[in-house]
A and B are shown apart, each in its own frame.
Chain A
Amino acid sequence: MNIFQQKREKWLEKWLEALFSTYPSESALFFRNTKDAFSNPVGATLKTGLTMLYDALAAPNFDPDAAKQALEPVVKLRSVQEFTPAKALGFIYELKTIMHSGAESPPAEIREVFSRIDMIMLMAFDLYMENKKIIYSLRASQARDNVRQLLIKKDLICELPEIDPELAK
């Protein structure tokens, strides 16, 4: 059993604790303790996501796809909550301090996980921005479609017709 398996429960618990502490204390209590996933989707998403992410990071052979799969729902959630980008994603780096906080250089196996953490941080940036892009486009399309559909239907504007490929020949 390696150090990551030995300390899994303790480190994971601390990591979750760090993540939940980004919410006001009453809410953190609710997110942490309410078991039903439908009554508490935030808590359920964060717990499942972080557990999967920990296992992906600590696996003997690192699989970036598995890490991404675990990260996606967590980042999706944090992207719409009231955080600055740094606060939304800062929890990822917290795992480093949890795994090794001393002044001396960490052992090789932990250094390896540290570099994986750096990698998923970059991954998280990409995911976060993708989510923001979806949000901006949802905003823009709502503003545009509100009137556009009406204009089209009323024949006040017309769209370019579909060109029949046979006729175009």
Chain B
Amino acid sequence: MVDTPKPEELIKNIDHTPPETPWEETVPDISPGNFCYPTKKKNLEYLSMPTTTVDEWSPADEEWPLPDNWQQIVHDGFKDLLGKYRSLKIFMDTCVRCGACADKCHFFIGTGDPKNMPVLRAELLRSVYRNDFTRVGKILKKIAGARPLTKEVIKEWFTYFYQCTECRRCSVYCPYGIDTAEVTMMARELLSLLGLNINWILEPAANCFRTGNHLGIQPHAFKEMIEFFCDDIEEITGKKIEPSFNRKGAEILFITPSGDAFADPGTYAMMGYIMLFEHIGLDYTLSTYASEGGNFGLFTSSEMMKRLNAKMYAEAKRLGVKWILGGECGHMWRVIHQYMDTMNGPVDFGEVPVNPITGTRFDNALSTRMVHITEFTADLIRHNKLKLDPGRNDMYKVTYHDSCNPARAMGLFDEPRHVLKAVCNQFYEMPENTIREQTFCCGSGSGLNTEEIMELRLRGGLPRANAVRYVHEKFGVNMLSCVCAIDRAALPPLMEYWVPEVDVCGVHELVGNALVMDGEIERTTNLRFEPLTDETEVEADV
């Protein structure tokens, strides 16, 4: 009879311990499930961007389709970026490896992979910078932390710079203010010079460039989608709303992520916006051309970001509006608040935004002409311009996820909370070190919200989900509100895995539920067509 090995003998053959090689020698695991699918060549061609040498390839391939002079391309590109951005040079030079950022990244916290420590992720780029651009690096090489650019380094960049959501939580803790998200942006820009980008970013960018939004919804279809929502609103409230499209001379242009037009639960937030504007009699229009607030150029290159951003302003100018009201979007606001002015600004249309209902002048939007919807709604609530019945949201115990970009890139903390506290009776905060400027990313930002890396997203989103679980267990929270379309797409699967009892919504869905519109019928359902009365009560009534 064959001796059956004992369990302890069996496990001796399984090596649990990870390799203790130095980081420079630890090769990343580039097997399916660990990388995002690379972009199709046609997207690159449509955007006039450099392409790879073949149409179809996989990061799991041993040989990547790089042009012969790839090293020179990256070196020249790096040199160009260093000349263009003084900030990049400072970020490359000043890090003292104090480690303050090391344990702040949600990917590091969830994966335990040292290369997800922001300091080390940036070091992947810095080491090449030292080698190519500093005297000490050129002379002392490895001793000075320099390493030559090899194909393995390119593979490592592709792995880890697409494992950073550019959420900037680490930057909050950096004593030098190094913006690690910008380091990632620069690295992605360098990779893009070789055609190395991912499909989940490039396809929306190319679609946006052609049809005006990420999914490629054409103008007539966009209009029909909105009209479809208006039918739903009529069924729920009895109010017939007919928003205008591409109307010249409107006072305000409203732009929101296209996710709000086609993906639940963003669609309910869209219904909320439309109801709010109708109720206050806002003179606004929607554009079927600037039908996207999101800007995937931010995840590609500064040039692409500039081109996509310009479209919104060109449309505002063409329509002759005074200012732009922006919906619940994440990275759109980083582009507007931090980059737009130096890319396409100062704007050459309109006026400083003034709320036509309250008279509030939004001086903070002086140079961008763009106001965030929660600033606008909070202002209406503050001036008692809305009749609200927060009891209609009593089925929800709500918490609020500060979406990374509005929180850390524009300091939008209190306005959404002011709105939430007015439209629902039960609001609970997550722990202090997981909200406001310390908020944890959904784990899928910056174009990583793609299904092939679901496990990576779930472990990256763990710190956020963990805080949600805490308020769910402590207060019975069952609704996670947010102001970002990527969040609304990324958080539902995250919740389904970690805290399945919690659902996700936009802030303006709750506004739409609570808003008592003039002349509306008695509501029996919320915007999701769920009965307002508790089911058990209905049964009891019967």
Interface residues of A (CB under 8 A from B): 18, 21-28, 30-31, 34, 36-42, 45, 76-77, 80-82, 86-87, 90-91, 93-94, 96-97, 101, 118, 131, 134-135, 138-143, 145-146, 149-150, 153-154
Contacts and interface: CB of A to CB of B under 8 A. Distances in A.
B113 A27 contact: yes
Contacts of A139: 451-452, 454
Contacts, number: 128
A68 to B, nearest CB: 17
A34 B433 CA distance: 14
Given A24-B113, A38-B466, 11 more contacts: A18-B16, A22-B18, A39-B109, A39-B433, A41-B463, A81-B459, A82-B111, A93-B10, A138-B451, A149-B262, A153-B262
Given A24-B18, A24-B114, A154-B224, A90 B11 contact: yes
Given A42-B110, A135-B497, A154-B224, A93 B8 contact: yes
A41 B102 CA distance: 15
B341 interface: no
Q: How large is the interface on B (under 10, 10 to 19, 20 to 34, 35 or more residues)?
A: 35 or more
Contact of B221 (A23, A82, A154): A154
B7 interface: yes
A128 to B, nearest CB: 13
Contacts of B215: 150
Contacts of B88: none
Contacts of A23: 18, 112
Pick from A23, A31, A82, A146 the residue with the most CB of B within 10 Å: A82
B112 A81 contact: yes
A31 B112 contact: yes
A154 B16 contact: no
B224 to A, nearest CB: 7
B399 to A, nearest CB: 14
Contacts of A154: 221, 224-225
B208 to A, nearest CB: 16
B11 A94 contact: yes
A80 B458 contact: yes
Interface of B: 7-8, 10-11, 14, 16-18, 20, 29, 34, 102-103, 108-114, 117, 215, 217, 221, 224-225, 228, 262-264, 431, 433-434, 451-452, 454-455, 458-459, 462-463, 466-467, 470, 493, 496-498
B325 to A, nearest CB: 24
Nearest to A118: B7
Contact of A42 (B18, B109, B263): B109
A39 B113 contact: no
B496 A134 contact: yes
A93 B16 CA distance: 12
A91 B14 CA distance: 11
Contacts of A38: 431, 433-434, 463, 466-467, 470
